[in-house]
Amino acid sequence: MKIFSSLNKNIFLLNIFIVLFSIPLTAQKLESDSLNCLKHNTTSIKTFFIPAALISLGAININSQFNVNVQKKIVPKDLNSKCHLDNYLQYTPAVLAIGLNAFGIKGKHSLGQTVIIYAMANILSNAIVYPAKHVTHEMRPDGSDDFSFPSGHTTEAFVSAEILRMEFKEVSPWYGISGYLMAFTTGYLRMYNNKHWISDVTAGAGIGIASTKLAYLIYNKWSSKLKTKNHLVQHTLLLPSYQNKQPGFCLIKRF
């Protein structure tokens, strides 16, 4: 098993904390710039504290004895007794969110907007997950490869769950609860199937939640600017004019 050296671990943790602190600062700027337009859509930077704590907890426990102890309690004695439901559960909350919207149960955003936010959240999460796997080189519990940390399945599951919660929390809190139950089950099955340590799953959950929250903030700012631009175009008219034998232009602006 490759050992995640103390120096590399410290460097990785430093980068993790830089990312974690930059997310709230980015969120704060996005919110302050568009506060008037996004009163009902902004997310407090305090909501990043929990995913930040999950990522930090997972990173600290890389190659720890705690991982081994938890794994012994979860992995079945019969290693052939596996459940591959995690391969499907990771996407189920997002599919449910898109499906509900498609069949007329309206969430916070339209169907197309939800798909865009979901894609953005996946781009952000993948930009963290795959570099982290190549930096940490943590061996999987089953020894199949050294790309265990963080769990990609769990990250995707919590991206999906947070999408479902954010879109339908005002319709019913049970949508979010069901999504998170599926996400937690995905994380548990990754350990049960001996593919990930608990630190991988913990960090994956944090990355998934944080990426989705950041995707909403970015999309809200982008859509706010687009609305402002369209408003200016629709309410401004430039016409040629001729007055006192002088040609020119007349700007008509409707408020």
pLDDT, tens digit, 9 for 90 and up, residues 31-72: 444 444 444 444 467 788 999 999 999 999 999 999 999 999
- Is the residue at 76 inside a domain? yes
Residue 148 confidence (pLDDT) above 60: yes
Q: What does the chain come to in residues?
A: 255
Mean pLDDT of the 194-220 span? 96
Residue 152 confidence (pLDDT) above 60: yes
DSSP-derived secondary structure letter, 138: P
- Is the residue at 225 inside a domain? yes
Residue 2 confidence (pLDDT) above 70: no
Contact of 76 with 29, CB cutoff 8 Å: no
Domain that holds residue 242: 6-253
- Is the residue at 45 inside a domain? yes
- Is the residue at 159 inside a domain? yes
pLDDT of residue 248: 53
Question: Which residue in 107, 195, 206, 109 sits closest to 158, CA to CA?
Answer: 206
- Is the residue at 114 inside a domain? yes
pLDDT of residue 47: 83
pLDDT of residue 45: 73
Residue type, 184: F
- Residue 30: pLDDT band with limits 50, 70, 90: very low
Query: Comparing 154 with 221, which gets the higher pLDDT?
Result: 154
- Is the residue at 1 inside a domain? no
| Rg, C-alpha atoms of the chain | 23
pLDDT of residue 80: 77
**Residue that is written with structure tokens 């995640």 in the block:** 4
Contact of 47 with 162, CB cutoff 8 Å: no
Residue 27 confidence (pLDDT) above 90: no
Mean pLDDT of the 143-164 span? 97
Alpha-carbon span 104 to 142, nearest angstrom:
44
CB neighbours of residue 142 within 10 Å: 13
pLDDT of residue 239: 45
Determine the angle formed by the axes of helices 65-74 and 173-192, rounding to 10 degrees: 100
Mean pLDDT of the 171-191 span? 96
Give DSSP secondary structure letters for 150-184.
Answer: S-HHHHHHHHHHHHHHHHHTTT-HHHHHHHHHHHH
- Is the residue at 248 inside a domain? yes
DSSP strands (E only) in the chain: 236-243, 246-253
- Is the residue at 218 inside a domain? yes
Helical (H) or strand (E) element with 251: strand 246-253
**Mind listing the pLDDT tens digit for each residue in 214-251?**
999 999 888 766 665 554 444 444 444 445 555 554 44
Chain-wide mean pLDDT for the chain? 81
Does the pTM surpass 0.85? The reply is no
Task: Give me the number of domains the chain comprises.
Answer: 1
